[in-house]
Amino acid sequence: NAGVMQNPRHLVRRRGQEARLRCSPMKGHSHVYWYRQLPEEGLKFMVYLQKENIIDESGMPKERFSAEFPKEGPSILRIQQVVRGDSAAYFCASSPLGTSGSWLDTQYFGPGTRLTVL
Amino acid sequence: RKEVEQDPGPFNVPEGATVAFNCTYSNSASQSFFWYRQDCRKEPKLLMSVYSSGNEDGRFTAQLNRASQYISLLIRDSKLSDSATYLCVVAKDSSASKIIFGSGTRLSIRP
């Protein structure tokens, strides 16, 4: 059973370009969470999605950032017109449970995508 | 004041030593507490949940002090493989957006 997969693992973009980060949850998991980790900081929640639904996007910046989790295929975190401050590690996690019950105990993280904006 | 605070370290201790670190949280309504481990440039992995009564998993012991609003992690007989960053995680409720990660305490075990 493959774990959570993220690609690319490393992404370099120039200011103003678009970044697309992909996340395939573990088999059987229908809940996906995106986090951002700036250097020397903790993970910050960005968005929680189920298939075809955004459940909680309260952690997403208001502009340039969007996320989706289509019926088929991976979840996508899209950052438009990237700026240097977007450079960070972006982690995706999946869980078979939603945000009820002990979902944190069953949340598995992917290896992350390290975005560098030049 | 940060919602979850940790001493960033690094803690540099010899193999076999016992090491402990704390994490303080500001929201007295917090309900769930966890310790995660994160190796350099890797993803975080759940180390253990922290229960009110305290809990132990092998060489690792976690404690919760609600009155003083801190949780602790004790590692006995430390191994070289324990070298990592330990993240304290506090949840106000079960909402994903209410999960707060500390910035971590770096631990380095030397031979």
CB contact under 8 A, B46 and A56: no
CB contact under 8 A, B96 and A45: yes
**Chain A contacts to B (CB-CB under 8 A):** 33, 35, 40-45, 48, 55-56, 58-59, 89, 91, 99-105, 107, 109-112, 114
Question: Can you tell me the mean pLDDT for A2-13?
Answer: 95
Q: Which of B94, B95, B102 sits opposite A42 (nearest CB)?
A: B102
CB contact under 8 A, A109 and B100: no
User: In sequence order, what DSSP letters do the residues of B2-61 get, joined into one string?
Assistant: -SEEE----EEEETT--EEEEEEES-TT--EEEEEEE-TTS-EEEEEEE-TT-EEETTEE
How many CB atoms within 10 Å of residue A116? 14
> What's the pLDDT score for residue A4?
95
For the stretch A23-63, pLDDT in tens is: 999 998 889 999 999 988 889 999 999 999 999 999 999 99
- Min Cα distance A28 → chain B (Å) is 19
Chain B residues with beta carbon closer than 8 angstroms to that of A103: 94
For the stretch B17-53, pLDDT in tens is: 999 999 999 998 888 899 999 999 899 999 999 988 8
Q: Per DSSP, what are the bridge partners of residue B61?
A: B56, B74
CB contact under 8 A, B46 and A107: yes
Tokens of B1: 């004041």
> What's the pLDDT score for residue A57?
94
